[in-house]
Amino acid sequence: MSNVVSIFGEFQNPEAKEHEKIINAEVKESLEHFSDLMENLIHEHFRSKNNKRHIRSKVVITEAVVMHMSYVGLIEVMFEEYEIIFGATKYIKGKRAYFYSRIMPFFEKSLEKYNYLIDMNECLKKYNSY
């Protein structure tokens, strides 16, 4: 008997498992970093209410936002690279859909309240200089 899995091909590529682990690790790491960013923003938000902002808070927040933007950019590139190498598998379709429908809106909604603490022009300038 032949080893035909399906007339449509394999739905999961065993060679892609290592890439999938790397993508999953990067998404998890970006969420952990975002948590640290939010802690800094919340802390500075309360310091701002009491007019006691830390002198380095702008630099710290800018660097953290640039790092967050870098994580998001890296993940997007990893999605594209995976799709070029392995095609539009069930995994990448699901992961991409989850990332853009759940994680990205979560990032945006969480940052809304603290936008006044973030100098996006400075962040974009630093992000584009890397």
- The answer to whether the beta carbons of residues 30 and 68 sit under 8 Å apart is yes
Query: Burial level of 30, CB count in 10 A (0-12/13-18/19+)?
Result: buried
DSSP secondary structure string, 75-101? HHHHHHHHHHHH-S-HHHHHHHHHIII
d(CA 67, CA 69): 5
What percentage of the chain carries pLDDT values higher than 90? 70
CA angle 65, 22, 105 (to 5 degrees): 40
Q: What is the per-residue pLDDT across 34-60, written as a single tens digit (0 to 9) for each?
A: 999 999 999 999 888 888 777 778 899
pLDDT of residue 13: 65
The confidence score (pLDDT) of residue 56 equals: 76
Burial class (CB in 10 A: 0-12, 13-18, 19+), 84: exposed
CA 59/CA 67 separation, integer angstroms: 12
pLDDT for 124 equals 94
Please say if the pLDDT value at position 12 is more than 80. no
User: What is residue 11's predicted lDDT score, i.e. its pLDDT?
Assistant: 55
Single out the residue of 126, 112, 1 nearest to residue 66, CA to CA: 126
Please give the C-alpha separations between residue 5 and each of 10, 11, 93, in angstroms, as whole numbers. 6, 9, 21
Encode pLDDT of 87-129 as tens digits: 888 999 999 999 999 999 999 999 999 999 999 999 999 999 9
- Mean of all residue pLDDT scores within the chain: 88
Tokens of 8: 């449509």
Query: Which residue in 31, 25, 65, 60 sits closest to 44, CA to CA?
Result: 60
pTM: 0.82
Please report the pLDDT score of residue 27 as a whole number. Answer: 95
